[in-house]
Amino acid sequence: MFFVLSKVLVFLIRPLIWVLLLLVGSWWLRGTSPWSGRMLVGAIVLLVLFTNRALFQLVAVAWEPRPIPVSEPYDVAIVLGGYLSEAGRLQPGPPEFSERADRLTAPIALYHQGLVKKLLLSGGAGTLFLEDEQPEATTAAQYALNLGVAAEDLLLDIQARNTYENALFSAELLAGRPAGERYLLVSSAWHLPRAAACFRKAGLSVILYPVDYLQSHTPLVPADYFLPRAQTLADWESLIKEWVGYLVYRLRGYA
């Protein structure tokens, strides 16, 4: 039930949905209530704020952990899912990645550089409405094998449907390993604060390896302060989802 409710909540916390609801309310109350004009102004204000790149950059820099150099080998890189597109979860053949592909490609690169010894791929079927969906970790494992990762260096968790379960099942897989091993936790930078809290709650000491940043690593230009950007609206959605998810996980004792 928690899994289903979490997916519904993701739909309701989208800034664009808030703007659309205010516009619909303004139209519905037109000519009958002063709230019509207020809702219209509110929709415009929200749209301006949530498409402003400079404002988003300020918030994202404060939230996302900084990148770290990896100079000594880690025993296991724990790779969280979310890197396949919806089509990529269903179609046969080569995987079709989403914009989160760095979650998988970055640790594979570290493996080939000798900086991680094994990859733990954590990801089951994490959507509500896709039938016959193959676990994401299964698809990722085949991709990793094709890129030269040895089969004995892959650990698979094909059950996890969310971040809490990523931590829970990863801890079970790693329970019998030697004490003192070093674990690298790989995920999107904006997702890592919640993920790290879950893994530490599950008893795993992890070092964060952020990829797939929402913040820009190039200097802002004057246009970023004044001109709206549609992509920023989508980036805010990812960030707000994380904040709400972090709060819910804390309340439920997951993090």
Tell me, what amino acid is at 27? W
Domains of the chain and CATH, by start:
2-64+230-252 (no CATH), 74-211 (3.40.50.620)
**What is the pLDDT confidence band of residue 124, given thresholds at 50, 70 and 90?**
confident
**Which candidate, 241, 234, 242, 245, places its Cα nearest to that of 50?**
234
pTM for the whole thing?
A: 0.87
- pLDDT value for 250: 95
Between strands 116-122 and 154-157, the pairing is parallel
Q: What is the DSSP letter of 84?
A: B
- Give me the chain's average pLDDT, please: 90
Do you know the residue count of the chain? Answer: 255
Assigned token pair, 196: 């790290």
How much is the average pLDDT of 239-246? 94
Q: Which residue has 């900084």 as its token pair?
A: 66
Q: Which residue has 């040895």 as its token pair?
A: 150
**What is the pLDDT confidence band of residue 255, given thresholds at 50, 70 and 90?**
confident
Q: Which residue has 């099942």 as its token pair?
A: 169
The more confident residue out of 199 and 90 is 199
Q: Which of 11-25, 129-143, 176-190 has the lowest mean pLDDT?
A: 129-143
- 166-195 pLDDT tens trace: 999 999 999 989 888 999 999 999 999 999
Q: In 83-172, where do the E strands start and end? A: 116-122, 154-157
Q: How many CB atoms lie within 10 A of CB 165?
A: 19
**What is the pLDDT confidence band of residue 3, given thresholds at 50, 70 and 90?**
low
CA distance 165 to 167: 5
